[in-house]
């Protein structure tokens, strides 16, 4: 995106992922390792579901805002 190259989108970009901070994920894994019960299933999620297209648009918006802020400083 910074070099005006196309961003690869696999498939139609509508597959959904749940996005979670790495530290939150690590804490959840540690909690399950310490307090979990053998044979149980634990779903670790952040309730932050986005399609790949939504994520790309959000990132591009942030980049555009950042570039505008940076250019206004010079």
Is 69 inside any structural domain? yes
Q: How many domains does the chain have?
A: 1
Cα 29 from Cα 33, distance rounded (Å): 6
Question: What does the block give as tokens for 34?
Answer: 């310490």
Identify whether 55 is part of a domain: yes
**Mean pLDDT value across residues 54-67:** 92
The answer as to whether 59 is a domain residue is yes
**Would residue 7 count as lying in a domain?**
no
Averaged pLDDT of the chain: 92
pTM: 0.67
**Residue 74: is its pLDDT beyond 70?**
no
| 25 in a structural domain | yes
Domain containing 28: what range? Answer: 16-73
Q: Quick one: average pLDDT of 12-24?
A: 96
Q: Is 14 a residue whose pLDDT tops 90?
A: yes
Q: Which residue has the higher pLDDT, 40 or 67?
A: 40
Over residues 30-48, the mean pLDDT reads: 97
Per DSSP (E only), the strands in 1-74 are 16-18, 49-51
Residue 20 domain-assigned? yes
């Amino acid at each position: 995106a910074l070099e005006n190259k196309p961003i690869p989108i696999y498939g139609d970009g509508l597959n959904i992922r749940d996005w979670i901070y790495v530290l939150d994920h690590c804490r959840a894994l540690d909690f399950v390792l310490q307090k979990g019960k053998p044979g149980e299933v634990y779903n670790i999620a952040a309730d932050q579901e986005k399609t790949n297209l939504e994520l790309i648009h959000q990132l591009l918006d942030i980049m555009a805002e950042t570039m505008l802020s940076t250019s206004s400083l010079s």
